[in-house]
Structure 1
């Protein structure tokens, strides 16, 4: 660790500087000089800095500590991190006297925003003359360090002591500090503005980034830059599909939750727009839904353009449900009633969240579905409203399986528009089928699984669809992808849009999902093989390399059939009446002696659709970039009914 005339801070907490008198004239030079590194915390000890208590340990931390969210934004390999033992640990870390030689001190800081308790202080003769805390007070925060600075012109020539302080034992009771420097220039944000967080409005669009990176998904939506998770506010209005999404505008890790925004005319080709709903009043914007105010319930419609209403969770403990609206086709949003609660926290959980709203025509009421409790049994509340502003609880739905991001949709049965049932599902895509009268959801209590893969979560369906389809998109969560390792400017992607419908089976009604037909607009060359033995089909397939793939395979099978499909180095095996991919087993019993499989392959994902969508499995995949090989093999004489491979063009 370097110790020089200034201290380098990395993290969020209280650092104290003690400044003793000295003399120096720093302003004689007209041009900016190289920064003085005061402390970089890169050694195997704190050097001359003295630690007390149990929060800091005996040496800098190599990044994230046990039980902590991912820490990012620090320089080098280590930093000061007082999370040792969790938020209940306390202590101080104090520098020796250091001469102030530059007009500014800059540093990296993160952690809790507890004034005087999680902070970096600057001391002169034992008195705190400058201080900085981390930015976080609520559960919606991030462990990313921010660059900040102090103006210390009046202290040049004096001696100072830096002290990192952790005295808080509650939430965000820790501080992270790194890279303390003396500088001739301001860097980052003023220390007094740290709790305001980054100015998210300056990150309106990322059009300079483009979609041409080696691992950029080519027909799945990903944010041009930075992190995304849950799809939010999916709605159709005036020829456009709107996809809002959980988004960190300033980093490729979770945090600073904001509603990102993209629009499309076909659910395949998306244009990312400026962020829709930004954090306010110390909280962040969690998931929710959007709906078209067809009847002008709010009374704010301008001209013929219908109002978009967005219900979201305001994440500042305790969470509550708030609303925003747009009168210009979603291009800009205004907070309703300054972002105050339309549904207050109900007292079950401090994190009650993710309101699903929609208009229920038979009862002429607005409906809100809200998850409020995870402890078994979990609880979902149903609310009604006449005006979108005042909401009344009308029923409760208690099940062990329910947890966040609830969605309730009405689906046709066997394609008959006169026969419909309702489907309720949660973030993990467990679901029940039943009846909904606008107030109460009743079912046979049978729980089904909507996706077998490890990377499908928090799916949502489009409101106000222009046709009779119900289409959903899920967040492909997880880290089994190449994005971060290969230094992509983005992190995470969405699944490909799928239709949802109910079909009668021998085991009762089941959900079927299938890629939207709009994918056909991306088809390039096509290989079709019909009524062939496996060896003949395999030879033709081997001579047809492809990067972006929509492959369909129908083959004759029984309980002992075994077959292996190769897709760009990935192996999908059929045995024991199931497809095996990685650690996932997807049931695939023959139907009238035939098994069908459809696979979508993008640059970092593989999606399986079995037996016309009876079972679906969504996966990230670390594909070999230059591997375009496709193959088929079996030690048995498997009959191929039909094999179709569509090479896909990029949606961008």
Structure 2
């Protein structure tokens, strides 16, 4: 059943706007009808209708295609090797290990993309993520005595060899070091910085802990929205399991022993209704080697009591337990029941089709006899089972409605080996789409804890491992020192995880000592693989961070780019009542692209009064300071072209495009800042205490801005709205936009 409540209003509006936008852009991109060309009509580069105008996106060079996939021109992901050299900021990023993309800027705002710096080869495969340094003192010996070499550290695609490329001409050409690798150690993403007290270089590397252990578990797979390892199982033994997904994204896995749960991003989940597969994934990349006795699917999440009843009923039916009066199977919402007794068998004893007597009586079949599973008599007591031996599957019509986000998947199954991921059954699309899958998936692998490891070097070429492990860390590390409240006498080391979360602690050149639990770096859905500029000029010691706004299938299908980079933010440590917090706040250089500005001072707002009703546009920097002590509304809401930012005055919570974070007032005041681009809304609370980064489409049927209080009045201390200009208008070193201010 479809549950429309899963989408916040802005998401629903987004889908409407996206559909309308797609229709319009499809008309704009009508293919030519002449015999010479079928290429879509191109909009001017950087000025395509949906390309972000003050966020960096990758360009095409020789390969023009709409919605380019990873490895192709126009795609961008992890930030790499951010550095400053000879008056230029250098931005490097992944084209999914095929190449390091490269762009330069003189102001961190206006960027000029160069041809990729370097890329994959036959010897080391791809060039995965890593950091970069400017070797000012030529410790590596790779310089020419005149120009300090720029070094980029990257991992080969075997996740073992750590390599370097270097440049002697301000990054315009790059050479792979002839004696690569400089370090042989799993896994990847080496990031390097200078440790001044010991006059040495430090590398932080995502790698494995020293000991490993086997993991065999099952859970839910929603395609890039997963909870794989909810409950454990034993290969060769039967498992009776129920996986439930709820409207709020809660996902549970229940077996006779217990229930475990996790949380999915329900906004990403949008189930496809193309096909249902048993024994394999829709693209056959995951296949079951084991047996299936029975499958049940409900179009709603069963209650805990109903789940227990269903599991007990199956166990009793199949002889695992003896119950004088076993409970009946719940029937409300049951849309699929498959028992081997209803299977059709070919002359070779294989299952040609498996039929369900429930609902529309769906049938799951396999026309290719070589891919049919076996029908095994008396395999479980006196009852038959269906045996899959890898690359065998049955498929047929789906039973859950497209877009359904709440259901129950139950199976009695046995997996025979401990090799890789194997799907028991799933409803899915025929092509990979985020959130389109609902699978009962089992996984088996040797696991080691994901950790960061530290190495040191005097020359950037020879590395020694340090006796430090930073636990519970995954991919794309960053590590640096920051003063607390700007005090140079109180410094903390920060270790940033791949998802932007961070630890604070001490570092003495050999050991990192954690002093805080991991804290949130950003509360949004689209924030990953961050990196900071490591060698800012001594006259400008800021720590500036960029992030990949990861959104696998969230970017427009009718544009020649895919993915984007967050707006540059300065990182600072601030001591708050809750402890020391790393704050993210847009760099002041944003003022370079200010256009017209509107200011409202000491302004009470009542329901029905919208002081922003005259403001139209698509690029904004909105700053609002609220006096909570003089406001009696329950909420204050900003409507930004179909997207919503709201502050709950009673609970002290800010929500932006469906993502929420705690934001208590400071001295009775709450500061909210919102950056709005064509495909993003970035929200900051209390000057960076909270950061929320989300992909967000604009609804052009709602052209103006709106601010409104709910159930009372709101007192605005000050509100400023700056219209923003495109960063692509003129070269960065010549750009000086007009700035007109209006005060109300």
Give the shorter-chain TM-score range: 0.5 to 0.7
Shift of 1:412: 1.6
Which residue does 1:157 correspond to in 2? none
Shift of 1:543: 1.1
2-side partners of 1:313 and 1:211: how far apart? 31
SS of equivalent residue, structure 2 residue 79? strand
Q: Deviations over 1:481-501 (max 9, x none)?
A: 4422xx111100000000001
SS of equivalent residue, structure 1 residue 227? coil
Residue 470 in structure 1 maps to residue 543 in structure 2? yes
Which residue does 1:556 correspond to in 2? 627
SS of equivalent residue, structure 2 residue 517? coil
Residue 636 in structure 1 maps to residue 712 in structure 2? yes
Residue 645 in structure 1 maps to residue 721 in structure 2? yes
Which residue does 1:217 correspond to in 2? 52
Shift of 1:583: 3.1
Stretch of structure 1 that moved more, 530-539 or 616-625: 530-539
Q: 1:621 to 1:318 in 2, by over 3 A?
A: closer
Q: 1:298 aligns with which of 135, 140, 149?
A: 140
Shift of 1:304: 3.4
Q: 1:313 to 1:625 in 2, by over 3 A?
A: farther
Q: 1:545 to 1:356 in 2, by over 3 A?
A: same
SS of equivalent residue, structure 1 residue 518? helix
Which residue does 1:540 correspond to in 2? 611
Equivalent pair of 2:656/2:683 in contact (CA under 8 Å): no
Residue 337 in structure 1 maps to residue 178 in structure 2? yes
Residue 281 in structure 1 maps to residue 281 in structure 2? no
Shift of 1:273: 0.4
Q: 1:276 to 1:625 in 2, by over 3 A?
A: farther
SS of equivalent residue, structure 1 residue 596? strand
Which residue does 1:565 correspond to in 2? 638
Which residue does 2:513 correspond to in 1? 442
When the two structures are superposed, what TM-score results if normalisation uses the length of structure 2? 0.56
Higher RCO (CA 8 Å, separation ≥ 6 residues) = 2
Which residue does 1:238 correspond to in 2? 86
Residue 409 in structure 1 maps to residue 480 in structure 2? yes
Residue 460 in structure 1 maps to residue 531 in structure 2? yes
SS of equivalent residue, structure 1 residue 362? helix
Shift of 1:208: 10
Which residue does 2:565 correspond to in 1? 494
Stretch of structure 1 that moved more, 374-383 or 449-458: 374-383
Q: 1:358 to 1:209 in 2, by over 3 A?
A: farther
1-side partners of 2:192 and 2:97: how far apart? 24
Matched ranges for 1:132-531 at <5 A: 210-225=45-60, 226-247=74-95, 255=96, 257-281=98-122, 283-302=125-144, 304-315=146-157, 317-337=158-178, 340-346=180-186, 352-373=187-208, 375=447, 377-400=449-472, 402-466=473-537, 467-479=540-552, 481-484=554-557, 487-531=558-602
Gaps of 5+ in 2: 1-41, 61-73, 210-446, 729-744
Which residue does 1:153 correspond to in 2? none
Shift of 1:463: 1.6
Shift of 1:302: 3.0
Q: Deviations over 1:145-165 (max 9, x none)?
A: xxxxxxxxxxxxxxxxxxxxx
Residue 607 in structure 1 maps to residue 679 in structure 2? no
When the two structures are superposed, what TM-score results if normalisation uses the length of structure 1? 0.64
Which residue does 2:693 correspond to in 1? 618
Equivalent pair of 1:556/1:594 in contact (CA under 8 Å): yes
Gaps of 5+ in 1: 1-206, 248-254, 347-351
Which residue does 1:349 correspond to in 2? none
SS of equivalent residue, structure 1 residue 494? coil
Which residue does 2:647 correspond to in 1? 574
Equivalent pair of 1:214/1:625 in contact (CA under 8 Å): no
Shift of 1:423: 0.3
1-side partners of 2:681 and 2:505: how far apart? 31
Shift of 1:416: 1.8
Shift of 1:336: 0.8
Shift of 1:561: 3.3
Which residue does 2:279 correspond to in 1? none
Aligned positions, number: 429
Q: 1:597 aligns with which of 648, 672, 694?
A: 672
Shift of 1:301: 2.0
Q: Deviations over 1:583-627 (max 9, x none)?
A: 311211111111110000000000000011001000000212464
Equivalent pair of 2:633/2:712 in contact (CA under 8 Å): no
Matched ranges for 1:66-145 at <5 A: none
Shift of 1:452: 0.2
Equivalent pair of 2:607/2:708 in contact (CA under 8 Å): no
Shift of 1:286: 0.5
SS of equivalent residue, structure 2 residue 178? helix
Q: 1:538 to 1:600 in 2, by over 3 A?
A: farther
SS of equivalent residue, structure 2 residue 198? coil
Q: 1:438 to 1:622 in 2, by over 3 A?
A: same
Which residue does 2:383 correspond to in 1? none
Stretch of structure 1 that moved more, 576-585 or 446-455: 576-585
2-side partners of 1:307 and 1:537: how far apart? 61
Shift of 1:574: 1.5
Q: 1:436 to 1:540 in 2, by over 3 A?
A: same
Q: Deviations over 1:306-354 (max 9, x none)?
A: 2101111111x2432101110000111111125x2111034xxxxx110
Equivalent pair of 1:537/1:640 in contact (CA under 8 Å): no
